[in-house]
Amino acid sequence: MRNAFYTVVVLFFLTTPMSAQEVDQEVDFNYLEDQFYVGLTYNFILNKPADVNQQNLSYGLQFGFIKDLPLNSSRTFAIGVGLGYAVNSYYTNLEIVELTNDFQYVAFILRC
């Protein structure tokens, strides 16, 4: 079993250089590295008061598009300009009460 493993490893490293391809050094002026991105996060509340509890799944969702704008003719230096949107939801037992000129934060406790 051990000899079979070493044989596979040696054959892998011997065949790797033979399968390498030549790299074309021509600059493709139509190629841009534009990107779409999507992200999903779990929001975790830190440094919260003792009475505040995080409930359910507090999540974040991000998505957007980044456009590549090359700054030189060889296209090795560029800037990315983008537009995106993000939503974050926090589910806690913290209630916000609107007063006359202010807000008050109250942690409510459900008793069953």
Question: Could you read off the pLDDT of 15-71 as tens digits, one per residue?
Answer: 555 545 666 667 666 677 889 999 999 988 888 778 888 888 889 999 999 998 888
Helix (H, G, I), strand (E, B) or coil at 11: helix
pLDDT greater at residue 10 or residue 77: 77
Specify the pLDDT at position 88.
Answer: 92
| Phi–psi pair at 55, nearest 5 degrees | -125, 155
Q: What is the pLDDT of residue 73?
A: 81
> What's the rounded Cα separation, in Å, for the pair 89 and 84?
17
Alpha-carbon gap, residue 8 to 18, rounded angstroms: 16
